[in-house]
């Protein structure tokens, strides 16, 4: 497997030219945040990623995680890497200073996360889940629980998990049976949870489980779920781990990929837990963690695609085979037009995917820190709208790109020795966990478009329209970028209007067209952000550095903006033939 090279310059370009880093640096409390600070943080994170985490990716995949004597063990090297992570203070990069964090913007934290995920996706899942638990506790836990648990979660001494589903429930959390009963100032938790990432491990001193469970006499369905904090080790009066709680990992799943990330079946037998937030509000509270995690999983799509792309480029550069037009002898396959096509597909889409993730980070920061209440609400609407597109569209594309990464290697990509196959295996889960692509599409259509009455979507399309108008004035060689964006915007707008008019006529319509509608908007957003890049690059002071960005924008306009029209046609096909067969005819 090739080395990992953190693309810091490209990340900074997206922060500056696409996301607009200066907007975050002006927010209250972040007056000391600067581009120089961002560069320094990203350079340091890149050192951890390339020198510590990346070399463990293959060995971790080969060794895996397993249960020994009732304790889940990860590869020894993972523990050492996690200790370096803790000693570097990385656990608190965006956490509040009140609890020992550095309180940096998400717009800085996101590139840092991307580097760790590219370097070693399996390892990176542990701090990712901890960040989500931290955010949920910060928002909803009592001050007593925050004081007791957050400092060590922020420091990385302890880690966090998210315990949602159960064997009979799957994605239907209304079927959750796990029980909680009040007892002597706390709660007693009983039940079993499945698919718990890093539910047990030996990298940290304690694990804090956030568990959905039902109180006695709670309503049926999702309205009867409450959220509980269940530590693996119960702290004493000084906050130090004191005695084991009655929670254990029954087994570790055997998976297609992410072998070194333990996915556990967890058992709770009269385990001590503490209520987080209000009774019967567990699912809304958990969504604070889930929505953060969904954006982070979209970022995983960027990260694993970037790693696959870097390896594909290095292989193509060094693999000598065949002749190319104008060559006298055997050439690097990088010279072959079809290999160039594949690499350009990877490169141009990764740029769009990364830009969309960083835009989500921008809106997260503005929604939390902007001094004007109406502007905070505006940015929250945009973040809510983008979240299922980030998770759904990016992850779907990432699987395509890691598959292309194998194709560039030819037969060598199909054997494990090159490492290309690991990227594909590791990526395959990202369209499934934290809500499948179908769930993301349903959320986008049901909650973010229909329930919102198209308000946030209208605001987004207006922004895209403004960019399209400006991009049509680009130099002649780049004008295809603006033209393709304008055509795609018109196609999407007319399709959304068709959808609005047809909505009440067929109850199956939203579910039948949601996936293609989500993908249509994903490709449209990609073209929008490439157009912003082309505008920045055309007027930039570094023509040599910006020339590849202009080429990528043109390639995306020619090769991927037609996907907007193709997906729009699939949306307008409606539900009739999707639903026409009887159950017995399948």
Q: What is the DSSP string of 538-551?
A: HT-S-HHHHHHHHH
Q: Which residues pair with 186 in a beta bridge?
A: 183
- Answer whether 530's CB lies under 8 Å from 352's CB: yes
Q: What is the DSSP string of 402-445?
A: HHHHHHHHGGGGGSGGGSHHHHHHHHGGGGTTTS-HHHHHHHII
**Rounded Cα distance, 375 and 363, in Å:** 10
| Token reading at 269 | 């037998």
**Rounded Cα distance, 274 and 46, in Å:** 38
Annotated catalytic residue, options 114, 138, 306, 434:
434
Give the count of alpha carbons within 13 A of 39, CB side only: 8
The helix (run of H) or strand (run of E) holding residue 352 is helix 337-369
Q: What is the DSSP string of 248-259?
A: EEEEE---SS-T
Closest CA to 202 of 260, 269, 278: 260
What's the residue count for the chain?
A: 586
Closest CA to 536 of 447, 471, 468: 471
Alpha carbon separation from 122 to 70, 116, 170 (Å, rounded) = 22, 10, 22
**Rounded Cα distance, 109 and 362, in Å:** 11
Task: Give catalytic status of residue 374 as yes or no.
Answer: no
Residue entry with tokens 């693309």: 7
DSSP state of 143: H
Residue 259 sits at φ, ψ, to 5 deg, of -65, -30
- Count of C-beta atoms within a 10 Å radius of residue 244: 12
| Token reading at 373 | 């209440």
Burial class of residue 168, CB neighbours in 10 A (0-12, 13-18, 19+): exposed
Catalytic (active-site) positions: 434
């Amino acid at each position: 497997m090739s080395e990992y090279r953190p693309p810091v310059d490209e990340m900074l370009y997206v922060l500056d030219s696409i996301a607009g880093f200066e907007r975050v640096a002006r927010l209250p409390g972040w007056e000391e945040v600067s581009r120089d600070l961002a560069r320094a943080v990203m350079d340091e994170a890149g050192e951890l990623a390339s020198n510590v985490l990346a070399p463990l990716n293959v060995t971790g995949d080969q060794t895996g995680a397993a249960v020994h004597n009732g304790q889940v063990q990860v590869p020894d090297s993972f523990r050492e890497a996690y200790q370096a992570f803790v000693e570097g203070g990385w656990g608190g990069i965006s956490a509040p200073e009140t609890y020992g964090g550095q309180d940096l913007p998400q717009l800085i934290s996101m590139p840092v996360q991307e580097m760790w995920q590219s370097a070693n996706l399996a390892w990176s899942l542990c701090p990712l889940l901890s960040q989500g638990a931290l955010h949920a506790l910060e928002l909803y836990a009592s001050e007593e629980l925050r004081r007791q648990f957050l400092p060590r979660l922020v420091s990385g001494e302890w880690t966090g998990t998210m315990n949602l589903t159960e064997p009979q429930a799957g994605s239907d959390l209304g079927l959750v049976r796990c029980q909680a009963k009040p007892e002597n100032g706390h709660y007693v938790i009983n039940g079993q949870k499945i698919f718990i990432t890093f539910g047990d491990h030996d990298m940290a001193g304690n694990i804090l489980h956030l568990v959905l469970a039902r109180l006695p006499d709670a309503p049926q369905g999702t309205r009867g779920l409450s959220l509980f904090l269940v530590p693996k080790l119960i702290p004493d009066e000084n906050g130090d781990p004191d005695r084991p709680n009655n929670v254990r990992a029954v087994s570790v799943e055997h998976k297609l990929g992410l072998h070194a990330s333990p996915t556990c079946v967890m058992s709770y037998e009269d385990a001590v837990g503490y209520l987080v937030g209000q009774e019967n509000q567990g699912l809304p509270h958990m969504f604070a963690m889930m929505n953060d995690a969904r954006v982070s999983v979209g970022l995983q799509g960027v990260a694993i695609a970037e790693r696959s792309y870097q390896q594909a480029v290095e292989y193509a550069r060094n693999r000598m085979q065949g002749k190319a037009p104008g060559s006298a002898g055997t050439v690097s396959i990088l010279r072959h037009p079809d290999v160039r096509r594949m690499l350009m597909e990877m490169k141009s889409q990764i740029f769009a995917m990364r830009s969309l993730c960083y835009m989500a980070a921008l809106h997260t920061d503005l929604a939390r820190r902007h001094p004007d209440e109406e502007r905070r609400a505006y940015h929250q609407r945009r973040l809510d709208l983008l979240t299922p597109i980030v998770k759904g569209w990016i992850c779907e594309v990432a699987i395509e790109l890691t598959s292309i990464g194998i194709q560039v290697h030819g037969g060598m990509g199909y054997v494990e020795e090159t490492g290309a196959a690991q990227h594909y295996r590791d990526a395959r889960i990202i369209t499934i966990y934290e809500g499948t692509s179908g769930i993301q599409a349903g959320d986008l259509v049901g909650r973010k478009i229909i329930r919102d009455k198209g308000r946030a979507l209208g605001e987004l399309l207006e922004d895209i329209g403004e960019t399209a108008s400006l991009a049509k004035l680009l130099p002649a060689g780049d004008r295809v970028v603006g033209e393709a964006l304008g055509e795609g915007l018109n196609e999407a707008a007319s399709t959304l209007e068709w959808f609005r008019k047809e909505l009440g006529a067929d109850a199956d319509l939203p579910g039948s067209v949601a996936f293609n509608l989500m993908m249509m908007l994903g490709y449209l957003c990609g073209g929008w952000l490439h157009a912003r890049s082309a505008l920045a690059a055309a007027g930039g002071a570094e023509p040599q550095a910006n020339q590849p960005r202009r080429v990528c924008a043109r390639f995306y306009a020619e090769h991927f903006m037609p996907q907007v029209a193709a997906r729009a046609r699939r949306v307008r096909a409606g539900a009739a033939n999707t639903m026409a067969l009887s159950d017995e005819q399948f």
